[in-house]
Amino acid sequence: MILIDDKISPPFQYPTNTEFKHKYGHDLQKLFGEVEARRVKYQSELKWSLPDRDLALTALAVLSDFAKSTRYYNLDVLTGAPNIDSKRDPVEAWYTTVATEVLKRKYSGRQKLKDAAEAEFLEKLIEGKAHVLFTAEDGTHIGSIHDSAIRAKQAKIIQRESTVISACLARHMSEVLFVLHYQQSTSNSSIPPLHEFFSIFFNDERDFRAWKMFSIAR
């Protein structure tokens, strides 16, 4: 989006490879901020917005850290990479910042009671026949069938809502490509309709929650 906008707007040229890489790199927050600043001039033609901006930006921070440095976190731990103590496990980071907030907002009291009853029933059913020894996303110990069942219920909500958050971020960014495709028709540029690769994201968040899989064939 940044490259195309530069090409069809003053100064009507792409930034150099060095300028682009050094300014943004893999920093998703910087890229997002730049796109946000440019969205303003196309605002009247845009349809979508971030449904929960604070939570989306929290998620973006974790995703940006992942893109910049923590995508190799597990290998870095095993090999004793420099400064590994200053990095956060990306799974733990997502859970403690995004997932916990999702549960506060989306895990209703009624659902909690229902899940607790099912967990108690499951524990009584197989108590003494199975043992649980596991570590949760935030590093805490899971040692009972009851706790394991509750975590499994919560995970479904977290996974669903995390998908929605990520899809809304993608929609917020890629929608601008749709506008730019038509803007460039008045310029001397010939840019392919790149927005078509992202058309799956031009949907309501209700659709994102309902889908079992994402496919560009939709």
Please indicate, yes or no, whether the overall pTM of this predicted structure exceeds 0.75: yes
Mean pLDDT of 8-19: 87
Distance CA 199, CA 218 (A): 9
Residue found under tokens 């956060």: 88
**Contacting residues for 166 by C-beta, under 8 A, at least 6 apart:** 59, 63
**pLDDT of residue 217 exceeding 70:** no
pLDDT band at residue 189 under the 50/70/90 scheme: low
Residue 108 pLDDT > 90: yes
User: What pLDDT, in 10s, does the model give residues 32-59?
Assistant: 999 999 999 899 999 999 999 999 999 9
- Percent of the chain exceeding pLDDT 70 equals 97
The token pair at 49 is 């917005």
CB-based burial, 11-44: b 16+ in 10 Å, e otherwise: eeeebeeeeeeeebeeebbebbebbeebbeebee
Give which of 1, 63, 7 is closest to 184, Cα–Cα. Answer: 7
> How confident is residue 19, by pLDDT bands cut at 50, 70 and 90?
confident
Q: Coil, helix or strand for 47?
A: coil
How far is it, in rounded angstroms, from Cα 129 to Cα 108? 31
